[in-house]
Chains A and B, each alone.
Chain A
Amino acid sequence: MSTPSSAPDKPLLEIKGLTKEFGGLKAVNNFDIEIFPGELVGLIGPNGAGKTTVFNLITGIYVPTRGVIRFKDTNLVGFQPHEITQMGIARTFQNIRLFPNLTVLDNVRIAYHIHAGYSMYDAIVHNKRYDQHEKALTERAQEFLSVFNMHTRQGEIAKNLPYGEQRRLEIARALAASPQLLLLDEPAAGMNPKEVVELMDLIHFIRERFNLTILLIEHQMRVVMGICERITVMDFGEVIARGTPEVIQNDEKVIEAYLGRGAAALSQRLREKRSHVA
């Protein structure tokens, strides 16, 4: 596979021959991808191409029909979603899934539950162990919110936040689970251009700050082309192209998948004309 020279060691996530059938429909067919530590990889494709299904397969919401999903050294197939999160994969959702009636702070604190450090018994009798761990957990969550500049909004109910903030909170919450691999499912969906620019900044920021590897599903070409180093394109459950943004932008199959055959032919002609001129 043509990975840039920055392929230092083993891939963090390696998917081989991943297939998911719903009845007779092959939602994902023989899907392969390798993601190396520190990379920002994009997964694009027209509606219904199977991108979100891939996410659901990685995070254990669906069980694959065939294939291997290797994260670090474990095959994730057969693990429960919460176990996969605990192994270090966190995600956001295409249609925001916050805990709508809870406060901003509680949304983040729930992500720390797996590291709460006290048992249910400790909680019920409110002993010292509870006091210490609960205080530490809350402080960590508050400090974490300040990284995202949301510490002043800790008491607000999540569903009352503006859309962009909700997205930000969802990303913050996913990061609070301290993942190594972050899966972002259409983070820019429904955002206005200004919010999109902010989001791209945010993605750059968290990647540096938390030393993350990111796999991103996106529809908006501007986002994908702007921030991804490598792109994999899917259509009808299969990979139709992969490479750097420049390669993808000129790939015939991709244009065909997105714009239809006529448009692909047109762009081909345009390109030929351009090369004649050159």
Chain B
Amino acid sequence: MKIQRGTLLFWFVFLGFIVLVQVLVGAGILSNFWATLLKIGAVMSIVSLGLNLIYGFNGQFSLGQWGFYAIGAYTAADITYRWTQLHNASGLVVILLVVLLVGIAFFLVAKVVARLRGLDALSAFTLYLIGLLIAALIAVYAGKSLIAPITNILNSLPPAIAIQIVFFLAVLLGGCIAAEISYIFGLPVLTLGSDYFGIATLGFTIIVKVLLDNSDTLLGFTEMKGARGMVGIPKLTSWIWVAFFLVVVIIVTRNLLHSSHGRAMVSVREDEIAAKAMGINVAQQKTITFVLGSFFAGLAGALYAHVNGFLHPNTFNFIKSFDPMIIIVFGGLGSVSGTVVAAFTWALVLEGLLRIVLPQGFETWRFVVYPLLLLIMMLLRPQGLFGTFEFPYLRQILPPPFQPRETAHPVHTTEDTLETGA
């Protein structure tokens, strides 16, 4: 297979940037402050890529991304907290089992729902909810007996490696939990039209925030400490880890978008009724995209939790849920390149550059400068920084046009296959 020059250039620059940052941080040239901002930039890229799938490519205006981000963050934080502070794999084992069993339960319920044709969304939702609760209960009770052996296995490994394994799994599980919740939440909500969907997802983010405020009492996770904020999470998110997840997310997004499934996704945004008339299962496409986007949000949240080692429900306030929305609109709806560039710009400029450029005592003015920049941007370039422009590797290349064979009757090539229905 021939690799395009643009693709090589893209990877050269992108991987070069990742290595350069790592070298600079390692050599102590880049301060901790900037290193953290770069990590936040990468984390925001992942959330925003997820949201861009949902809104930019599938056309569903969602403000729920931040709620899934919070779920991913707290899930992963709980796993690594229990591993480092309580010295057992209870979080890991139970959540792994929950993810697996709930996944199986959803799969089985989906089969039942498919058989009961014409079931309305709310009844289906109830069935899924029952499945989820049963699976989760079984997982919690079955998990108890598995905690000790798994802890022993992990303890037999060198601690430095064990903790990285736990962290990696925690991030994945954060994503999976977010994805599973988005699946069941999306069932009734995705049937709504776009504005109503936006409000419903905003409601979701608010619910998650309130639950987190009361996580120690209502949910019973005392280590999350509710509105006081969760402390003692190991700071495991290295630049290499976020960069790794960012690269994977970019590749997955790009490959998906360059396929028939990606086109089906976009067709829903373009015209739902026409998509249906083309045989595309619109409801299914919306669900898939929503789940995948939420999975990315969960991943990003899990990574975020281990950047500062501190989580507070206020970080997941619904006001903040507009951040990824702003990033994707700023970068260009439906542009992967734009999203990543905008996310890094957002992190570096808003928290970094403006803090430095603005005189002492005027730092909070960045919340005046930043909206002003957005305003000017929207007036001058409403399609966003990149519009739908993509960097070489991310761009779709059209194959050369069809060359009709030089026969006298050029249009009788597929007739045989089509005539069989006669």
The SS class assigned to the A binding surface is helix
19 CB-based A-B contacts, threshold 8 Å: A78-B118, A81-B273, A82-B278, A82-B279, A82-B281, A85-B279, A86-B279, A88-B421, A100-B270, A109-B260, A110-B263, A110-B267, A113-B264, A116-B261, A134-B260, A142-B399, A143-B414, A144-B414, A151-B402
A 114-144 binary contact with B (CB < 8 Å = 1; else 0): 1010101011111000100010011100111
The 8 A CB mask of B267-291 against A (1 = contact, 0 = none) is 1001101111111111000001000
Question: Which B229-282 residues have C-beta < 8 A from chain A?
Answer: 252, 255-256, 258-264, 266-267, 270-271, 273-282
Given the interface contacts A78-B118, A98-B274, A113-B278, does A120 sit within 8 Å of B288 by beta carbon? yes
Decide: A103 and B398 in contact? CB cutoff 8 A.
Answer: yes
Which positions 10-35 of chain B face chain A at CB distance < 8 Å?
none
Contact of A61 among B273, B404, B411 (CB under 8 A): B273
A49 within 8 A of B: no
Please measure, in the bound complex, the distance between the C-alpha atom of A59 and the C-alpha atom of B263, giving whole angstroms: 22
Output the least CB separation between B38 and chain A (Å).
Answer: 27
Could you list 10 further interchain pairs (A-B, Cβ under 8 angstroms) beyond the known A99-B270, A143-B413?
A: A78-B117, A81-B273, A99-B274, A106-B266, A109-B263, A110-B260, A110-B280, A118-B259, A120-B256, A143-B414
Number of interface residues of A (CB under 8 A): 59
What is the distance, in angstroms, from A96's C-beta to the closest C-beta of chain B?
9
Find chain B residues with CB under 8 A from A178 CB. Answer: 418
Give, as a whole number of angstroms, the nearest-CB distance from A85 to chain B: 4
Q: A147-B411, A211-B419 are in contact. Are A142 and B260 (CB under 8 A)?
A: no
- Establish whether residues B418 and A101, one from each chain, have CB atoms under 8 Å apart when the complex forms: no
Of A86, A101, A209, the contact of B415 (CB 8 Å cutoff)? A209
Interface residue B422 (Cβ < 8 Å from any Cβ of A): yes
Q: Measured between C-beta atoms, what is the minimum distance from B407 to chain A in Å?
A: 12
Interfacial residues of chain B within 383-406, with CB under 8 A of chain A in the complex: 388, 398-399, 401-402, 404
A residues sitting closer than 8 Å to B (CB atoms) are 37, 59, 61, 78, 80-82, 85-86, 88, 90-91, 93, 97-103, 105-106, 109-114, 116, 118, 120, 122-126, 130, 134, 137-139, 142-147, 151-152, 154-155, 173-174, 177-178, 180, 209-211
The answer for the CA separation of A110 and B264 in the assembled complex, in Å, is 6
B371 lies within 8 A of chain A by Cβ: no
| Chain B residues within an 8 Å CB radius of A100 | 270-271
Q: Give chain B residues whose Cβ lies under 8 Å from the Cβ of A118.
A: 259-260
Q: Which 8 pairs across A and B sit closest by C-beta, in order of nearness? A: A123-B259, A99-B270, A85-B279, A142-B402, A116-B260, A81-B276, A97-B274, A151-B402
**Residues of B with Cβ closer than 8 Å to A?**
117-118, 252, 255-256, 258-264, 266-267, 270-271, 273-282, 288, 388, 398-399, 401-402, 404, 410-411, 413-415, 418-419, 421-422
**Do the beta carbons of A85 and B278 come within 8 Å of each other?**
yes
Is the pair B413, A81 in contact by a Cβ cutoff of 8 Å?
no
Q: State the Cβ distance, B280 to closest chain A Cβ, in Å.
A: 6
Q: Which residue, B252, B261, B413, B415, has most C-beta atoms of chain A within 10 A?
A: B261
B354–chain A nearest beta-carbon distance, Å = 34
Q: How far is the CB of A29 from chain B (nearest CB, A)?
A: 24
> By the criterion CB–CB under 8 Å, are A99 and B271 in contact?
yes
- Which of B256, B279, B280, B418 is within 8 Å of A211, CB to CB? B418
Bound complex: CA of A111 vs CA of B278, how far in Å? 5
User: Which of B266, B282, B414 is the one whose CB lies under 8 Å from A99?
Assistant: B266
